[in-house]
Amino acid sequence: MHGGDISEAFTLGDGVRTFFVKTQPAARLAMFEAEAVGLADLAAANAVRVPQVVCHGVAEGMAYLVLEHLPLRPHGDAAQLGRQLAQQHRVSADRFGGARDNWIGATAQPNGPMDDWVDFWRERRLGFQLKFAARIGYGGALQRDGEALMARLEGFFVAYRPAPSLLHGDLWGGNHGFLADGMPLIFDPASYLGDRECDLAMSELFGGFAPAFHAAYRETWPLDPGYPVRRTLYNLYHILNHANLFGGGYAAQAHRMMAQLLAELR
């Protein structure tokens, strides 16, 4: 099957049963183990539908993840998705992060639990990506402004104190779809407990979500007035990750976002 950026994907069937299978080299089994945990956590929220995990393991030098096969359509009940995502975000915990690390695309994503959200975002998200960027040659102004931004992150949270919410973690348009009856589905998570605005920010980064989704979410659980500014802060993480993975113009885009955020703090 086409569409995946990281794994090879297949449908596997015997004429009676059909499964969806993802494969990677055996050394990447931990990536599938983390994905299976994320799907289980999302399923336990009893909110947005996710594919059921059948099994995962290694065979003949290849890691595999087997999921139920669910034929998807690009359109369906977007308003239901908004309401259900708000319900999922109501699942909370005492700390930010998660019980295990996972991956955002092909990049490791550390989730070591922390009590303070600003510290978590500084150390586990922006700081991690900036160190990655430095290792592969992105220095200069990107690092200078990145450090300046991280030193002042508290300025975006003066009157806003997010609670830990169960996040999908990688909620771009390609990671959702709809079943034949219109029921929404999300998949390929990078789950952790964080500010619910992170999922919403990414849903706006590359488009792909119907206006009814955004309207229904906000009706179910209104957003803080400071969200439009923090949307840029949260999406900076993903643009830095794209710069680290794909290069191109993403590093310049990340630097522009840093400049925009620093301007908000003047």
127-163 burial code (b ≥16 CB/10 A, e <16): bbbbebbeeeebeeebeebbeebbeebeebbeeeebe
State the Cα–Cα distance between residues 34 and 189, nearest whole angstrom. 9
State the Cα–Cα distance between residues 235 and 260, nearest whole angstrom. 12
Helix (H), strand (E) at residue 62: strand 62-68
For residue 92, give both structure tokens.
């909370």
Examine the residue annotation and report whether 170 is marked as an active-site residue of this protein: yes
State the Cα–Cα distance between residues 157 and 220, nearest whole angstrom. 23
State the Cα–Cα distance between residues 20 and 71, nearest whole angstrom. 10
Q: Using alpha carbons, select from 187, 178, 148 the residue that is nearest to residue 265.
A: 148
> What are the start-end ranges of the E strands in 188-229?
192-194
Q: What is the DSSP letter of 46?
A: T
Place of tokens 């522009």: 256
Q: Using alpha carbons, select from 13, 73, 4 the residue that is nearest to residue 35.
A: 4
Catalytic pick from 77, 145, 170, 195?
A: 170
For residue 147, give both structure tokens.
């450090």
Find out whether 105 and 170 touch, Cβ atoms under 8 Å: yes
Q: Catalytic site residues?
A: 170
